[in-house]
Structure 1
Amino acid sequence: MKKSTQPPNTLEELMMRAEAMAGLTLGQLAHHHQIQSPKDLKRHKGWVGQLIELELGAIAGSKPEQDFIHLGVELKTIPVNQTGKVLETTYVTVAPLSNIQGLTWENSVVYHKLQNVLWIPVQGAREIPLAERQIGSPVLWSPSAEEEALLKQDWEEIMELIAIGKVESITARHGEVLQLRPKAANSQVLTQSIGHNGSRSQVNPRGFYLKTQFTQRILSALL
């Protein structure tokens, strides 16, 4: 990916850029930035998000902070079908699996990333060639008290299982709105985790993801 656009100075400027993208195809946006569109996303996972980041001037990259930290806004592209149905879960951040003493919901990366989210829906149906997929209207969202309570409850329950060495027993079914799943290029990638009785063990890295029914509720309410 080429050097990105200058970061927006204000939330209004960010929203203007996001609204100006709505209706464009990924191919048109890629052409504007002189980038070749891949045929599909099999070997280019993350390409859509990187392209949108480039256009909007996001600065965080893969750092564990908001994409527009100076504005307090996280950017999330979300694939939807022709009727606006969300097609996959949304990755939030890598989960800490060791050295978690004293970590609370309020000082977690998940909490900070989800305080203000700019959702960019993008057509994700596989029958539409990647370059022809349209970008939708942006949605700026902050969790309601009820939504935050659900997120906090799931996060605390998952972190409690990690703390007592039960990370391997956590499945994608855990959590009402937030889930924990393996997050690695392949199963050979390992990271340190808390094992049984406080020992150390090696496991695949895990990531926090928002479940589709939760993000569907957000988009349906705001679009």
Structure 2
Amino acid sequence: MKPEPKTEQELLQRAFDIAGCTFEQLAQEATMAVPVDLKRDKGWVGQLLEWHLGAVAGSKPTQDFEKLGIELKSIPISYSGKPLETTFVCVAPLVGVHGLTWETSHVRNKLSRILWIPVEGEREIPLAERRVGSPLLWSPSLKQEQQLKQDWEELMEMIVLGEVEQITAKHGEVMQLRPKAANGKALTEAYGASGRIIKTRPRGFYLRTQFTEQILNQHYVHAPSDQ
């Protein structure tokens, strides 16, 4: 793995250096095997990018570049440049959440500064031939932060009230809460409606595709901010 970047500019330069490269080219340099697909290797693209960019956090609950305060997110895009899937932010706390605020939340910390790396995501393109796009360093605008905060507060209120099982993907304008587990057997503790602890599937915060599409459009297409 490459050494940890010391400055934001150094990190951004590394990201520009790999733009246009195929996964095959990047994997060869990192001596990593390219999987046939991502069904069993969902985190492979992220690991490949982490190797080239020098992210050291791994699976720790901190930003990928903790010293720089920057999180790394790859985003698979279609031929037309639209995000193909929602973006996982972090696992949601389901117990011990009384007194938590947006300002001190793990979600806000993760979303405060993101290095977005668009990657080709169309399924008919073989994984080895998919290319990495130009990077984007982003922080939420005041309006975007307000939207995120509003969704977070709505979702966390439902968790505190023991309504976690009633939360669906329809809740949240720009950020949703969804089960986060490879299968339904993995369970964690949460508050039930009676205030007692129940067992439920772990949940994660995800950014909706229309929100990430807006971020990409503002940067790459210079679209008006209200679009």
Relative to the length of structure 2, the TM-score reads: 0.96
Asked if residue 142 in structure 1 is aligned to residue 161 in structure 2, the reply is no
What is the total number of aligned residue pairs between the two structures? 220
The whole-number CA distance in structure 2 between the counterparts of 1:28 and 1:15 is: 19
Correspondence for 1:54: 51
Equivalence map 1:67-216=2 (5 Å) = 67-216=64-213
Q: CA deviation at 1:180?
A: 0.2
Helix, strand or coil: the match of 1:197? coil
Helix, strand or coil: the match of 2:194? helix
Q: CA deviation at 1:197?
A: 2.3
Q: CA deviation at 1:195?
A: 0.9
The whole-number CA distance in structure 1 between the counterparts of 2:37 and 2:157 is: 39
Q: Which runs of 4+ in 1 moved over 4 A?
A: none
Report sequence identity in percent.
59
The whole-number CA distance in structure 2 between the counterparts of 1:61 and 1:107 is: 22
Q: CA deviation at 1:34?
A: 1.1
Correspondence for 1:65: 62
Helix, strand or coil: the match of 1:214? helix
Unaligned runs of 5+ in 1: none
The whole-number CA distance in structure 2 between the counterparts of 1:36 and 1:147 is: 38
| Paired AA for residue 7 in structure 2 | T
The whole-number CA distance in structure 1 between the counterparts of 2:97 and 2:82 is: 36
Correspondence for 1:35: 32
Q: Any idea what the Cα deviations from partners look like across 1:10-63, whole Å, max 9, x if unmatched?
A: 001000000001000011000111111111111111100110011101111122
Helix, strand or coil: the match of 2:81? coil
| Paired AA for residue 129 in structure 1 | P
The whole-number CA distance in structure 2 between the counterparts of 1:19 and 1:66 is: 20
Q: CA deviation at 1:167?
A: 0.2
Q: CA deviation at 1:141?
A: 0.4
| Paired AA for residue 89 in structure 2 | V
Equivalence map 1:19-34=2 (5 Å) = 19-34=16-31
